[in-house]
Structure 1
Amino acid sequence: MKLLFVADPVEHFKIYKDTTFAMMREAQRRGHTIAVCEPRHISWQRGEQVSAEIRDIRLTGEAESWFRVEGERRAALVDFDAVLMRKDPPFDAEYIYSTHLLEQAERDGAKVVNKPSALRDHPEKLAIMEFPQFIGPTLVTRDAAQIRRFHEEHKDIILKPLDGMGGMGIFRVKADGLNLGSIIETLNKDGAQSVMVQKFLPEIAEGDKRVLVIGGKPVPYCLARIPQGNEVRGNLAAGGKGVARPLSEKDRQIAEALGPILQGRGLLLVGVDVIGECVTEINVTSPTCFQEIHDQTGFDVPAMFIDALEAAVVA
């Protein structure tokens, strides 16, 4: 297969943990060719197919100079067997515009993973609200009074912006309500911006579990991101410690319930975040943790993904 990865600059990859790199390495091992571009390199001119300035690369197997550029050219996205959208958040207006360009590439005949319209339709925090049977008490609102009432009811709460990533902008407010007003003002910007508010789940002390679902099926191990010190956030970007564990019965139940639904919408790879027995996010943009799970358990997550990708391209 000829694969195009749409991602952040490859020069900035931390290959010891980067999931997109792990995908590339397994793809090359199987004989597939790899090209890369950034969303800013994609364009669409009247009467033409969506195309991009791409670089054909080959992985070298070295730690420092880990890739070699074998050519630079403009190519139509439809010329590839699969286009993998692996751009990290933020999920901003430019990200949305990229999905529209990728959706036009689909109309040209390209196979895009994850499906662009599904990326737009599943904002990673809001997406959980479709599945109330698997989530804890949760409120999405711009209204400060509603947030205060939610706090009065649940006493210990988490507040976060809908467009945050890596644990950015997450606040905990306990029963005393200390700084609640200031936090609301910071997050909702005087009612201009929506906020997600959730009951605090003490099970976070045991880890915020990333459950990967590939081709509608759960990876048998999750990565529990465990907060360190006085930190309430388990995100690896916020200093959490990643510990791979077998899925619990509830983890598997959640993944097996959501997996086929999300796969049917064109989401080949999903990262479901679970604290205790409650889903807290459904990550669809560029789910990670392949290498951490592989390194700690031996389960070959990249191979499972490329298996699913090959099957999706043939289908």
Structure 2
Amino acid sequence: MTTKIGVVMDPISRVQFKKDSTLAMLWAAQARDWQLYYMEPGDLFLEQGKARASVSHLTVFRDPDSWYTLGDAHVQDLTELDAILMRKDPPFDNEYVYATYILEAAEREGTLIVNRCHSLRDCNEKVFATQFPQCCPPVLVSSNTRRLKAFQTEHGDVIFKPLDGMGGSSIFRVKPGDPNLNVILETLTDFGRRTIMAQRFIPEITEGDKRILMINGEPIPYCLARVPSVGETRGNLAAGGTGRPQPLSARDRWIAEQVGPSLRQRGLYFVGLDVIGDYLTEINVTSPTGIQEIERAYDVDIGGQLMDCIAAELASR
């Protein structure tokens, strides 16, 4: 029987053809003659406890002017699909959580969700990294401005950032004597009502914020270093950084070894580790990117490896 794989994503009409990792996954699935089904989060619903959705048959192409076609939408049970890629981009808000509840109803009845719904909810992309302190720089998670100031006094040059941001948004670097420290902390913590993260600044950011892609706990041997633009401390591509594919270092591999077993245990099949210098800074579990940039630079089929992982998981059930 043909494998049926669904994808929940933001509008496919608006993806960046040359960069979108979900598109790369869909090309790899279609290359195996798997049937593709497209959904946006608003298409999902629960009816008498059954996970259902308005889905459209999807065909994808490697054509920058016309990269997809959709069939007519129809309603079906999500359990009719063998696997579903949950690729909705953050923000990780209540609507995202509600989508995982619906997908989890299908998951309980045997549909493979990539990544596992419970782990998507449980593994905040910044806080999850702190479960591996041996890999991280000095870090503090708190809403207490006095404690956050003490951290900055101890470490001097620090980064403050929200726990729910993406693309480098609302990230502040504070150096000793910065007169804006109070207003930065007031803004980020909402006067002590919101928990944030403080991290010692890592000077090696000038060499790039490395995105290491992990498939079922194993690293792809190449990463994407996102190098900040001049005068910028954020390497995020959304903040103007430049992508530079490169091989993993020995330290990168060690960090991947530390984190990998937990990813496998949690059903986090496709994950992006963010590493600056020698330190793990974040673990991206929602919709990691970087596939196309790495595949163009090196002879590696990342999308295909993920589909191999999904096929093996389905075969083991």
TM-score bracket, shorter-length normalisation: over 0.9
After TM superposition, give the deviation of residue 222 of structure 1 in Å: 0.6
1:247 — aligned with what? 248
Partner of 2:50, secondary structure, is coil
Q: 1:38 aligns with which of 37, 40, 58?
A: 40
Deviation at 1:277, TM superposition (A): 0.9
CA distance in 2, matches of 1:160, 1:246: 28
Counterpart position of 1:26 = 28
| In 1, Cα distance between equivalents of 2:69 and 2:287 | 24
Give the superposition deviation at 1:296: 1.3
Pick one of 8, 15, 18 that aligns with 2:17: 15
| Deviation beyond 6 Å, 4+ runs, structure 1 | none
Q: Show the 5 A alignment for 1:279-294.
A: 279-294=280-295
Task: Say whether residues 1:2 and 2:4 are aligned partners.
Answer: yes
Corresponding residue for 2:184?
Answer: 183
In structure 1, what is the equivalent of residue 143 of structure 2?
142
CA distance in structure 2 between the aligned counterparts of 1:60 and 1:99, rounded to whole angstroms? 28
2:259 corresponding residue in structure 1: 258
Q: Distance in 2 between matches of 1:177 and 1:199?
A: 15
The SS at the match of 1:146 is: helix
> Equivalent residues in 2 for 1:1-315 (5 A)?
1-46=3-48, 48-315=49-316
Could you state the TM-score of these two structures normalised by the residue count of structure 1? 0.98
Residues 142 and 192, structure 1, Cα contact 8 Å, conserved in 2? yes
Separation in 1 of the partners of 2:313 and 2:15? 26
Identity across matched positions, percent:
46
Equivalent residues of 2:44, 2:53 under 8 A apart: yes
May I ask how many residue pairs the two structures share in their alignment? 314
Partner amino acid for 1:32?
W
CA–CA separation in structure 2 for the residues paired with 1:81 and 1:180? 51
Q: Give 1:109 shift.
A: 2.2
How far, CA to CA, are the matches of 2:33 and 2:288 in structure 1? 24
Amino acid in structure 1 at the alignment position of 2:197: M
- Structure 1 residue 302, shift from structure 2 partner: 1.2
- 1:93-151 CA distance string (max 9 Å, x none): 11111111111111222111100001011010010111111101000111110111001
Conserved? CA contact 2:132–2:258, under 8 Å: no
233-242 or 256-265, which deviates more: 256-265
Q: Which consecutive residues of structure 1, in runs of 5 or more, have no partner in the other structure? A: none
Deviates more, 1:176-185 or 1:279-288: 176-185
Q: What amino acid maps onto 1:132 in structure 2?
A: P
1:7-56 deviation line (CA, Å, top 9, x unaligned): 1011111111100000001111111111110111100012x520001111
RMSD in angstroms over aligned alpha carbons?
Answer: 1.0
- Tell me, what secondary structure is at the counterpart of 2:108? helix
Length-normalised TM-score, structure 2: 0.97
1:259 maps to amino acid? G
Matches of 1:111 and 1:209, distance apart in 2: 29
CA deviation digits over 1:173-205, x for unaligned, max 9? 011223010100110001111110000000111
Q: Is the 8 A contact 1:85 1:285 kept in 2?
A: yes
Once the two structures are overlaid, the 10-residue window that deviates more, 256-265 or 25-34, is 256-265
Give, in whole Å, the separation in 1 of the partners of 2:45 and 2:68: 25
Residues 277-312 of structure 1, C-alpha deviations (whole Å, 9 max, x = no match): 110000000111000000112322111111111112
SS in 1 for 2:72: strand
CA contact (8 A) 1:201 1:275 kept: yes
